[in-house]
Amino acid sequence: MRLTKRRLNRTLLLRQHLLARVDRTPAEMVEHLVGLQAQESMPPYLSLAARLTDLDPLEVSRALESRELARVLSLRDTVHLHLPADALTLPVWAAPVRDRELRMSQSIGEAREVDREAFATAVRTVLADGPLPQRAMSAALAEHFPSYTASQLGQVARVAEVLVQLPPRGCWKPTTSTAVAYDFADRWLGAPLAEPDVPEVVRRYLRAFGPATAADVTTWSGITRLVPVLKAMDDLVRHEDEDGKVLYDVEGAPIADEDAPAPVRLLGTYDNVWLSHAGRDRVTAPERRNTWMGVNGAQSNALFADGWLEGLWRVEDGTVVLGEILRPLSKAEKAELDEEVGRVEALLAS
């Protein structure tokens, strides 16, 4: 098929379950989306609330506490909420991304020169008796490597090793401290780290984000040199965009009608729906995205209307505060927005 930009937009929203909410568990949605971006605690809950017919946020907290979900540095070298199987494999696949971070991160500085083998041994020693808060782990590592600061060494450990962020970090409105504490992912989740089935990871990406180019998969994952992987997957079908660019897809995956209605949705600060394509134009025009992205990252949460980024919003004292609206909303869209605001505020009050 030759797919228009609007049809690609609607197909992405269909596969993301943003055209209509679905009755699934949080874990099922996390698995379908191959994880939820979770640099901050609130966005995964907003991502789930936008897609599920019903969400009990405490169910997500309980899953973190029971180790049925885990927060780990994975895709694009950012923290994601994953099922254990993905938490144990995707960071291994993303090792080259972490290596780039070690070479380039300003917060790591000269500590990037630390001997990696000796450092890994030190981390095992420091965490031998169990998980530690980041500050305590960093201070203990500084005793092993006094030439570097504790802060630098903590950042090296965070990137170089596969560590999970332990609850209550990421839990729903925890009453205890949410300072980051770390443990080895394999120890916390009770299974070894392993290489993933990369073609199957690509298929899962396409089921949730496709059709897509190899460059799109790289944008989503941070992993480069994926063209040979996709070309070797004989089970994939090939479409084209309006410019004739090849788009890979899973056989039988749904293609939406470009006239499918796309209701208003309130998404969190970061949502992979618009961080997972090289052109970044599946759900926003460049000038719209620039409104959202400030000098040091995202400025606010995103409001989508008719499938496209059309406004910003934030949370203040448990209520939704609308920011800049980028175009006049229709009467129907205003009604949808009122309903969506009510749903999000009910979530915040729960």
**278 and 180, same structural domain?**
no
**275 and 185, same structural domain?**
no
DSSP conformational letter for 49: H
Does a structural domain hold residue 253?
A: no
Domain end (from 158, 189, 220): 189
**180 and 32, same structural domain?**
yes
Residue 141 neighbours by CB distance under 10 Å: 24
- DSSP E strand stretches across 13-170: 36-37, 70-73, 79-82, 132-133, 163-165
Does a structural domain hold residue 166?
A: yes
Does a structural domain hold residue 64?
A: yes
According to the model, what pLDDT value does residue 177 have?
Answer: 61
DSSP conformational letter for 328: P
Q: Which residue has the tokens 């600061």?
A: 149
**75 and 181, same structural domain?**
yes
**277 and 183, same structural domain?**
no
Measured distance CA(25)–CA(16) in Å, rounded: 15
**47 and 183, same structural domain?**
yes
Does a structural domain hold residue 46?
A: yes
According to the model, what pLDDT value does residue 286 have?
Answer: 75
**169 and 78, same structural domain?**
yes
According to the model, what pLDDT value does residue 345 have?
Answer: 97
Does a structural domain hold residue 1?
A: no
**185 and 273, same structural domain?**
no
249-259 pLDDT, tens digit per residue, is: 999 999 999 99
Domain count, the chain: 2
Domain end (from 167, 189, 211): 189
∠281-334-328 over CA atoms, to 5°?
A: 60
319-350 pLDDT, tens digit per residue, is: 999 998 999 999 999 999 999 999 999 999 98
According to the model, what pLDDT value does residue 246 have?
Answer: 96
Does a structural domain hold residue 239?
A: no
The one-digit pLDDT tens for each residue of the chain (350 residues) are 999 999 999 999 999 999 999 999 999 999 999 999 999 999 999 999 999 999 999 999 999 999 999 999 999 999 999 999 999 999 999 999 999 999 988 889 999 999 999 999 999 999 999 999 999 999 999 999 999 999 999 999 999 999 999 999 999 986 666 789 999 999 999 999 999 999 999 999 999 999 999 999 999 999 999 999 999 999 999 999 999 999 999 999 999 999 999 999 999 888 999 889 998 789 988 777 777 666 555 668 999 999 999 999 999 999 999 998 999 999 999 999 999 999 999 999 98
Measured distance CA(98)–CA(280) in Å, rounded: 23
What tokens does 118 get?
């000796």
Q: Give the structural domain span for 123.
A: 28-189
**152 and 45, same structural domain?**
yes
- DSSP E strand stretches across 36-152: 36-37, 70-73, 79-82, 132-133
Domain end (from 189, 222, 254): 189
**296 and 180, same structural domain?**
no
Does a structural domain hold residue 220?
A: no
Does a structural domain hold residue 319?
A: yes
